[in-house]
Chain A
Amino acid sequence: MAQMIAADRLKKIYVDAKRGDVVAVDAISFDCVEGEIFGILGPNGAGKTTALRMLATILAPTSGSALLNGYDIVREPEKVRGSIGYLSGETGLYARLTPREILRYFGLLNRYPKDTLEERIHNLVTLFDMHEFADVRCEKLSTGMRQKVSIARAVVHDPPILIFDEPTAGLDILVADALLTYIEECRGQGKCVVFSTHVMSEAERICDRIAVIHRGRILAVGSLDELRARTGQRFLEKIFLSLVRGGGEG
């Protein structure tokens, strides 16, 4: 299987007026292949968002680099952007546009072929069951509806890599479940999905491999079974705690 993401010692340092230098992400390396869901698991402030933002070329790394679909995030950011769909839990929508207009806007911005764009939008509207509200301004939609629009927006140009930063944050169980199901479908289509969360059960359910991240460092990477073997714990929560507390228990 083709390697889609290869992060190599990615590092991000901020200078904070009060705290001085803050190492948000400390030289993390990992890779993922097509058809894989790669989970990044960590508590709030662990560096998940910063790491994913660097992959998505929103932030420039202080040092290190990463290849996405063969493109370097530092040297060829625009090519990287053409290969990814990015979604975070706090992503907003244009309130005064309709879902269909938003999909059209991002389809065109991401160079999706014009002649097939309307068909693609129609398919997404069907897939996410958005017919009822596809032409209603987003300001009038419920949270669940909006999240559907956000996901459709992230994948409208059919990118090979999906970067989802805590996409289920703030969603009710039903919508979150639908989202996780969709992510699993993406795996079936051969997409490479990077998925960050601090919810253990989500990671247990869908991730093929998990990187546990704490204070900007990756403590361990592997499938759930590999992590169990390494820590001697059965549940991800225990695995996580054991890794964070020094990883020496098992």
Chain B
Amino acid sequence: MSIGDTFLVFRKEMTDLLRDRRSVLAMIVFPVLIHPILIFGSARLSSYGETRLKEETVTAVVEGGLPDLRERIVSAPGVRPLRARDPAEAVRSGRADIGVALPENLAISAGGEPEAVLFYDGSRGLSGEAMERVARILDEWKAEVREARLDSLGAAELKRVLPVEEKNVASEERMAGGKLGKLLPILLVFLLLNGASFAAVDLFAGERERKTIETLLTSLAPRSSIVAGKFLAVAVSAVIATLLFLSSSFLFTRIRWAGGEGLHDAWSVSPLSAAVVFVISLPLAFLLSAVLVLISSHARTYREAQTLLLPSLLLGVVPAAASVAPGVRLESIVAIVPIANVAVAVREALLGNYPILFLGLVVLSNSIGAYLVLRWARAFLSSERTVFGEARREPGVLPADRPRAREVTIFFAFEILVLYYLGSLVQSKDLLLGVILTLWGFLLLPTLVFARRYRLDIRRDFFLRLPSLRHLLAGILLAPASLLAANLLFHAQSRFLPVPEDLLEAFEKLMGSGEGGLVLMLFAVAVSPGICEEMLFRGLLLGQYRRVLSPTRAVLAGGLLFGLFHLSIYRFLPTALLGIIAGWLVLRTRSIVPAMFLHAVYNGIGVLAGGTGGALEGESLSTPWIAGAILLAAGALLLLREKEWGGGDG
């Protein structure tokens, strides 16, 4: 690579970009203006909305006794009384904003304590406002009644017990940072992506569409310099957008502060915070630029690139939402998750927290990520397909099998959605039956339909062969060791990524729920996953990936997707490990059945040990357990030593 050429390409691309109105908008105008517009706009809008509600008259239906209280409610300012027989119905139909059912008197009878009921419609802002107003009137009235009673008892000193004063110990900077820290990371990631995406589209897909790429590639500049120069221009666009956004946010909040307009000083940024935020955003700017370049270089045309980049823009903002999640701390595995780590680090920096070690980790992980993506992008960019953007491949790569692996992956993504929406829906009705329905109905059935649609041979393509007894036994024997390994992994991981209590509870609820009896439980949580999940992952996915990937890669890819499938960052690694072991077992024995047994026994032990949550909490990690598991695994490996030991073909 030549530094001179890189710089030459970079300079030309920057000139080119700065002469384009769209890129100037994305890179300069938008980042400078978004903070003022958003903050002014939203503050005005919400205060306007609130004021409007406060000024509206609400319609109230009041039923029942206690005439003085009723009178007080209907004669309150901004309340218009309405006569109706059923207050709840009046509110539901929208004729009234609030319905109040009062008791006849305050006497405590055998029927219980008298109570007042407020009917309101939570979906209507005005109804909520009416509810608040009436509740306030009720509170005042209650306080008066209480005081009068105390007075009549001659117990004036009872009125004042323990006055409470609230004091906020957070400094102004912290308060400001706390509020801003939730919004700013998301805005930052969005602006960064937006600033870079125009450049990425223009400099790669655009160059191809304008048919200038050939002349560039026949010049003396090495391709690596061309790619580097272009990438630099994309990254610098992102950095400019970031820098302008932060400077604008900083200056804007300062000016307003100095001007004393004082909407809130909730949006101020200290100079140190701004500087730290900028520094930690730099490697992210490079990483995201590299990703955008990679995406854009896949596109044949400008429009295609834009279509491809839009979802990545939206996807990119999702991890940034980590800054809004309250429990997410930087001192965890989050520190190495791109985007999310910067979002959380920015939130912390705005609070005035600068954990140097973890900030360093954030910078390092994003830098490594950027380097890896860029290397990939470079290899890709010098290929002919990139130059001409045509779906041409060199001979030697199997064309016919590729789409199948791709469609299988799409099917997997579809299954995740099904699991997420339908699965959780039926499981919320009835946990065990829901799990069974999900596995057989939403997982196995679509898998078989998919196989039929693509004319797959269930026996051959899903490894559905009768295994030898030996292999079957090996699968069962591997289960304890697999569970042990998954447990160890889970424990190691929980040092960095502590499991929230509610997840443990949910897991225990599933494993420990006695309802339906042990048999149903085992069927739902052990046997069914062993069959249904294996058919999808070790049958369909592994079978199709194996056609286009090496055995190792196919097993790894299948395992990782299996981990992903469980939709929990905490369970990702342990389940991926099970997936990998099962995948290996399938390729080793050339049958899916031992893996089914492995999976079922693995989950089965979890169920049996599960009443105490042992499987997850690792109370089972005692020495005899470990020794036993290792012994069994050794036995399993011994059984697997010979390849293809006389397995019948079914």
Interface positions of A (Cβ within 8 A of B): 13-17, 20-21, 53, 56-60, 62, 78, 81-82, 84, 86-88, 90-97, 101, 105-106, 108-111, 137, 153-154, 157
Alpha-carbon gap, A91 to B216, bound state (A):
10
With CB as the reference atom, state the residue of chain A lying closest to B17: A96
Bitwise interface map of B from 11 to 38 toward A, beta carbon under 8 Å scored 1, else 0: 0100110011000000000000000000
Q: Which of A62, A88, A111, A153 contacts B220 (CB 8 A)?
A: A111
Contacts A16-B399, A106-B215 aside, 9 further interface pairs with beta carbons under 8 A come to: A15-B393, A17-B393, A57-B218, A59-B384, A78-B220, A87-B215, A92-B211, A105-B8, A105-B12
A154-B219 in contact given A15-B395, A96-B16 (Cβ < 8 Å)? no
Q: Do A86 and B399 form a contact, CB below 8 Å, given A15-B393, A78-B222? A: no
Binary flags per residue of B483-499, CB closer than 8 Å to A gives 1, else 0: 00000000000000000
Partner of B219, one of A87, A88, A93, A110: A110
CA distance A59 to B212 in the complex (A): 15
Cβ–Cβ contact B210 & A84, under 8 A: no
Which chain A positions have C-beta within 8 A of B453?
none
Contacts of A62 in B (CB 8 A): 394-395
- Closest residue of chain A to B226 (Cβ to Cβ) is A109
CB pair A91 B391 closer than 8 Å: no
Residues 200 to 221 of chain B near chain A (Cβ within 8 Å): 210-212, 214-221
Chain B residue contacts of A106, Cβ below 8 A: 215, 219
Contact between A109 and B8, CB atoms less than 8 A apart? yes
CA distance A97 to B399 in the complex (A): 41
Measured CB to CB, the nearest residue on chain A to B218 is: A86
Knowing A81-B219, A101-B15, say if A94 contacts B210 (CB, 8 Å): yes
Chain B: residues with CB nearer than 8 A to chain A? Answer: 5, 8-9, 12, 15-16, 19-20, 210-212, 214-222, 384, 387, 391-395, 397, 399
Chain A residues with CB under 8 A of B212: 91-94
Query: CB-nearest residue of chain A relative to B20?
Result: A96
Whether B399 pairs with A81 at a CB distance below 8 angstroms is: no
Nearest residue in A to B217 (C-beta to C-beta)? Answer: A58
Task: Give the Cβ gap from A74 to chain B, nearest Cβ, in Å.
Answer: 14
Contacts of A82 in B (CB 8 A): 220
Question: Shortest distance in angstroms between B169's beta carbon and chain A's nearest beta carbon?
Answer: 55
Across the interface, name the chain A residue whose C-beta is closest to B4. Answer: A108
CB proximity of A59 to chain B, nearest CB, Å: 6
A109 B214 Cβ-Cβ under 8 A: no
11 contacts between A and B (CB under 8 A): A15-B399, A57-B218, A62-B394, A82-B220, A84-B218, A86-B214, A96-B20, A101-B15, A109-B9, A109-B220, A137-B19
Tell me which of B12, B211, B397 contacts A15 (CB under 8 A): B397
A17 touches B384 (CB 8 A): no
Q: For the complex, what is the distance from the CA of A86 to the CA of B387, rounded to whole Å?
A: 15
Measured between beta carbons, the chain A residues less than 8 angstroms from B5 are 109
CB distance from A110 to the nearest CB of B (A): 5
The answer to whether A14 and B211 touch (CB under 8 A), given A56-B218, A59-B384, is no
> Which residues of the other chain, A, contact B219 by a CB distance below 8 angstroms?
81, 106, 109-110
- A residues less than 8 Å from B210 (CB atoms): 92-95
Contact B220 A17, beta carbon cutoff 8 Å: no
Once the chains bind, are B399 and A17 in contact (CB under 8 Å)? yes
Q: A22 vs B397: C-alpha distance in the bound complex, in angstroms?
A: 14
The 9 closest A-B pairs by CB, nearest first: A92-B211, A92-B210, A86-B218, A109-B219, A96-B19, A15-B393, A14-B392, A92-B212, A109-B221
- Nearest-CB residue, chain A, relative to B221: A109
Most chain B Cβ neighbours within 10 Å, of A81, A92, A105, A109: A109
Q: Are B215 and A16 in touch, CB under 8 angstroms?
A: no
Select from chain B the residue with minimum beta-carbon distance to A80: B218
Known contacts: A14-B392, A15-B394, A92-B210. The answer to whether A97 contacts B218 by CB under 8 A is no
Asked if B215 contacts A97 (CB within 8 A), the reply is: no
Instruction: Give the nearest-CB partner of B397 in chain A.
Output: A15
Docked Cα-Cα span, A111 to B221, in Å, equals 9
Residues in B with CB closer than 8 Å to A58 are: 214, 217-218, 384, 387
A108: chain B residues at CB < 8 Å are: 8
Chain B, Cβ-Cβ closest to A105:
B12
**Chain B residues near A109 (CB, 8 Å)?**
5, 8-9, 216, 219-221
Q: How far is the CB of A68 from chain B (nearest CB, A)?
A: 11
Query: Which among B19, B214, B218, B384 has the greatest number of chain A C-beta atoms within 10 A?
Result: B218
Report whether B222 and A154 are in contact in the complex, using a CB–CB cutoff of 8 Å: no
Bound Cα distance from A26 to B212, whole angstroms: 27
Q: Which residues of A contact B9 (CB under 8 A)?
A: 109
- For the complex, give the distance between the alpha carbons of A15 and B385 in Å: 11
Partner of B12, one of A60, A84, A97: A97
Question: In the complex, which residues of chain A have a beta carbon less than 8 angstroms from the beta carbon of B392?
Answer: 14-16
A110 touches B220 (CB 8 A): yes
Chain A residues with Cβ under 8 A from B12's Cβ? 94, 97, 101, 105
CB distance from A21 to the nearest CB of B (A): 6
Question: Nearest Cβ distance between residue B359 and chain A, in whole angstroms?
Answer: 39
Instruction: List, in ascending order, chain B residues with CB within 8 A of A86's CB.
Output: 214-215, 218
- When chains A and B are docked, how far (Å) is the Cα of A137 from the Cα of B15? 12
- Report the minimum CB–CB distance from B131 to chain A (whole Å): 59
Chain B residues near A94 (CB-CB < 8 A): 12, 16, 210, 212
A55 CB, nearest partner CB in chain B, Å:
10
B380: min CB distance to chain A, Å: 15
**Residue from B5, B215, B391 whose CB has the most chain A CB atoms within 10 Å:** B215
> Which one of A82, A91, A108 has the greatest number of beta carbons of chain B within 10 Å?
A108
How far, in angstroms, from A96 to B15 measured CA to CA in the complex?
Answer: 9
Which residues does chain B contribute within 8 Å of A15, judged by CB atoms?
A: 392-395, 397, 399
Could you tell me if B214 and A88 are in contact, using CB atoms closer than 8 angstroms?
Answer: yes
CA distance A14 to B393 in the complex (A): 6
Q: Which residues of B contact A78 (CB under 8 A)?
A: 220, 222
Which residues of the partner chain A approach B387 to less than 8 Å between Cβ atoms? 58
Taking a contact as CB atoms under 8 Å apart, the answer to whether A97 and B16 are in contact is yes
Contacts of A157 in B (CB 8 A): 220
Bound-state Cα–Cα, A108 to B8, Å: 8
Residue in B218, B221, B395 whose beta carbon sits within 8 Å of that of A21 in the complex: B395
Q: Provide the residues of chain B in CB contact with A21, threshold 8 Å.
A: 395
Q: Which residue of B lies closest to A106 (CB)?
A: B219
User: Which residues of the other chain, B, contact A111 by a CB distance below 8 angstroms?
Assistant: 220
A153:B384 contact, CB within 8 angstroms: no
Q: Which residue of A lies closest to B202 (CB)?
A: A96
Q: Check A153–B15 contact: CB distance below 8 A.
A: no
Q: How far is the CB of B234 from chain A (nearest CB, A)?
A: 16
Residues of B contacting A110 with CB < 8 Å?
A: 219-220
Nearest to A139 among chain B residues (CB) is: B19
A91 touches B214 (CB 8 A): yes
Chain B residues with CB under 8 A of A57: 217-218
CA separation between A78 and B219, bound complex, in Å? 8
Q: By the criterion CB–CB under 8 Å, are A97 and B15 in contact?
A: yes
Give the docked Cα–Cα distance between A86 and B214 (Å): 8
Quick check: A154 and B215 within 8 Å, CB to CB?
A: yes
